[in-house]
Amino acid sequence: MVFQHMYKMWLFCLVKEYGNFKEAANHASITRSALSQNLTILEDYFGKAFLIRERGTVSLTHDGQDFYNKVKPILDQGQELGRDFLPSDELKGNFKLGSYESLAVRFLPKLFNTFRTLHPNFKIDVITSRSDSLVKQVKNGTINMAMVINGEEDSKVDVEHISSDTLGLYVCAEKYCYTENLEEIIEMGIAILSTPEDGLPYYYKKFTQKIPDEYKVTLTCDSFEAIRSVTASGTIIGLLPEKVAKNQADSLKKIWPLDDEISKISQHNVSIIYRKSTDKRIVDLIKKVIS
């Protein structure tokens, strides 16, 4: 019966709306493999091809668009039914969220979409700054929560470590995919973070001290995202966190260090820090999005 495939229809609509398997699978909290299998079963059941699967993107066939136009209103009605008859646990009000720039770029699109879908009357104000500044703002009550590096809890705030990251030197993968001439790469120079008034994190300074002498710093910048962009252009080596470097598929290639022991020197935690009075539903939802 067609009713047993309603969940698969919802997954199909997610793929159409996100335009790729990765974001649709993340929203549904399943793997991309499981998502693909469900959609294949759906296509087999109806005997039609609904999706055109291309590298990194998905689009609809003519039959797929026609199917979406018929299914989406039905799913929307089901969602309205839940809103009308289920007890409301919708979040409302304003929430001030701090984040350093490179993390905001990676997670804010998904975060906003999640809250817009589940809690449309919940407003998020985002403040971007360095981790030290964000921690101070959480502790003095200026903002409710922040995504920071190496947060530490105290009597006013709780901290949860979400993931870890390491630093490395990266170059444009397309331009230097096959080169064996290391001297050619080294001559470009390195782009690193500029030093703010309160100094650079200890793990960052300790890592830079290990960089071989033949690499010369030729550019400083206060934004990892700007450094990643210049690195991707093929004009410089970028000193970047791994998760920032890999933010856009395989556009960058790591050239140093290739030794795990050196990489461990720069290991640091991505944390959320929040006031103890913060609604746990908000904490859990944000953790789920950025984990």
Same domain assignment for residues 211 and 70: no
Same domain assignment for residues 143 and 277: yes
Same domain assignment for residues 116 and 142: yes
Same domain assignment for residues 46 and 124: no
Same domain assignment for residues 171 and 217: yes
Same domain assignment for residues 142 and 189: no
Same domain assignment for residues 16 and 61: yes
Same domain assignment for residues 183 and 262: yes
Residue 187: CATH number of its domain: 3.40.190.290
Same domain assignment for residues 178 and 237: yes
Same domain assignment for residues 40 and 118: no
- DSSP one-letter string for the chain: -GGGGHHHHHHHHHHHHHSSHHHHHHHHTS-HHHHHHHHHHHHHHHTS--EEEETTEEEE-HHHHHHHHHHHHHHHHHHHHHHHHSPP----EEEEEEE-HHHHHHHHHHHHHHHHHH-TTEEEEEEE--HHHHHHHHHTTSSSEEEEES----SSEEEEEEEEE-EEEEEETTTTSS---HHHHHTT-EEEEPP-TT---HHHHHHHTTS-TTS-EEEEES-HHHHHHHHHTTSSEEEEEHHHHTTTTTSEEEEE---HHHHHHT-EEEEEEEETTS-HHHHHHHHHHH-
Split into its structural domains, the chain has a count of 3
Q: Could you read off the pLDDT tens digit of each residue along the chain, which spans 291 residues?
A: 677 888 899 999 988 888 888 878 877 878 888 888 999 999 999 999 999 888 777 889 999 999 999 999 988 887 776 555 545 577 878 899 999 888 888 888 888 888 888 888 888 999 999 888 999 999 888 899 999 998 887 878 899 998 899 999 999 888 776 555 667 788 889 999 999 888 888 999 999 999 999 899 999 999 999 999 999 998 999 999 998 998 765 689 999 998 888 999 999 999 999 988 888 889 988 888 887
Same domain assignment for residues 200 and 138: no
Quote the domain boundaries for residue 81: 2-85
Same domain assignment for residues 35 and 160: no
Q: Is the pTM of this model over 0.95?
A: no
Among candidate residues 85, 118, 141, the one where a domain is terminated:
85
